[in-house]
């Protein structure tokens, strides 16, 4: 029997207006936005709907906003396609928390508060350092690791074949991009980010995240949740907190997560949350697999129709 996996968006997917049409059309979405505002004690929904963009892109807002919209997308898909079942989940960086919530390993509100705290801590780490990131297109992992060693930066994201992201001190990123081009990269593109995510420069945020996770109940996932850190499923509730703390400074092994799910029999993937970045990665990993997404009312209707067929 075919297996389905849910994929949840990560930071960078945020866009002003996200979730607004869902809230206007669906009482469940409107209620969850209100619940999130109350749980966090501020108007996250208004920042999602109206911005301004400079507020939404702040890590402390972007992370809970993307978590929330991904969660709402899942609840609406369940309403529109009641027969939906899934056998695995994964999320890119902060999206892994949404994946854990979808698998009942953490409660929705607990996850929302932890992600908000994670975002604030990472924002502080960004402001305390001068970090940057760059996307390297057209080099394999071994070659990019050589570039990292040469330039003194970190390998942040292994997203899909031919697209790897570097992270580190801002004053080293130009040299890293030049080294990548010299090694044969088709492109080396500096990214407009606040800091060096998934690098040692995020280490100051780890103690606070561990503290936040210690205050919530983490349960055995109801389905396998694939870890960014290992590229394999989490092995049990006891190790989730430590792995999620490690994730802040570790490489995101996204392609490995997808390939592990494929090896475990997954043939349909559903991207939930703003944007379609994960769908784009899927096309470069394996074009032969079915990929749906839910980001707004139009994509919700199309995905529900496909699932109900």
The verdict on 40 and 75 lying in the same domain is yes
pLDDT digits (tens, 9 = 90+) for 269-287: 999 999 999 999 999 999 9
pLDDT digits (tens, 9 = 90+) for 110-119: 999 999 999 9
In the residue annotation, 93 being an active-site residue is answered as yes
pLDDT digits (tens, 9 = 90+) for 75-104: 999 999 999 999 999 999 999 999 999 999
Q: Does residue 195 sit within a domain? A: no
Task: Report d(CA 201, CA 205) in Å as an integer.
Answer: 9
In the residue annotation, 26 being an active-site residue is answered as no
- Cα–Cα separations (whole angstroms), residue 56 to 48, 52, 66, 266: 7, 6, 10, 34
The verdict on 113 and 204 lying in the same domain is yes
| Active-site residue identified among 45, 93, 199, 303 | 93
Total domains in the chain come to 2
pLDDT digits (tens, 9 = 90+) for 169-190: 999 999 999 999 999 999 999 9
CATH code for the domain of 175 = 3.30.70.250
pLDDT digits (tens, 9 = 90+) for 55-79: 999 999 999 999 999 999 999 999 9
Query: Sign of dihedral through CA atoms 293, 299, 303, 306?
Result: negative
pLDDT given at position 1: 66
The verdict on 206 and 59 lying in the same domain is yes
pLDDT digits (tens, 9 = 90+) for 187-231: 999 988 889 999 999 999 999 999 999 999 999 999 999 999 999
* Domain that residue 168 falls in: 131-190
The verdict on 218 and 110 lying in the same domain is yes
What's the half-sphere exposure (Cβ side, CA atoms, 13 Å) at 105?
28
The verdict on 59 and 103 lying in the same domain is yes
């Amino acid at each position: 029997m075919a297996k389905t996996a849910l994929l949840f968006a990560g930071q960078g997917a945020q866009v002003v207006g996200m979730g607004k049409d869902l809230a206007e059309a669906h009482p469940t979405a409107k209620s969850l936005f209100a619940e999130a505002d109350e749980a966090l004690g501020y108007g996250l929904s208004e920042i999602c709907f109206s911005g301004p963009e400079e507020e939404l892109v702040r890590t402390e807002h972007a992370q809970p906003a993307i978590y929330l919209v991904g969660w709402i997308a899942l609840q609406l898909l369940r309403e529109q396609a009641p027969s939906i079942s899934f056998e695995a989940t994964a999320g890119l960086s902060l999206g892994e928390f949404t994946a854990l919530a979808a698998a009942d390993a953490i409660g929705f509100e607990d996850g929302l508060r932890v992600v908000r705290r994670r975002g604030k801590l990472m924002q502080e780490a960004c402001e305390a350092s001068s970090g940057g990131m760059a996307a390297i297109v057209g080099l394999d992992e071994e070659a990019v690791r050589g570039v990292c060693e040469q330039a003194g930066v970190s390998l942040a994201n292994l997203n899909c074949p031919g697209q790897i992201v570097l992270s580190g001190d801002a004053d080293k990123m130009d040299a890293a991009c030049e080294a990548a081009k010299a090694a044969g990269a088709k492109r080396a593109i500096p990214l407009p980010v606040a800091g060096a995510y998934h690098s040692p420069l995020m280490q100051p945020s780890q103690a606070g995240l561990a503290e936040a996770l210690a205050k919530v109940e983490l349960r055995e996932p109801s389905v396998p949740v694939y870890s960014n850190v290992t590229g394999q499923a989490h092995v049990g509730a006891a190790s989730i907190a430590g792995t999620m703390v490690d994730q802040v400074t570790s490489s995101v092994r996204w392609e490995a997560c997808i390939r592990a799910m494929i090896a475990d029999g997954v043939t349909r993937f559903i991207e939930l949350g703003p944007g379609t970045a994960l769908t784009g990665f899927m096309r470069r990993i394996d074009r032969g697999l079915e990929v749906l997404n839910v980001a707004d009312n139009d994509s919700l209707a199309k995905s529900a129709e496909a699932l109900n067929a």
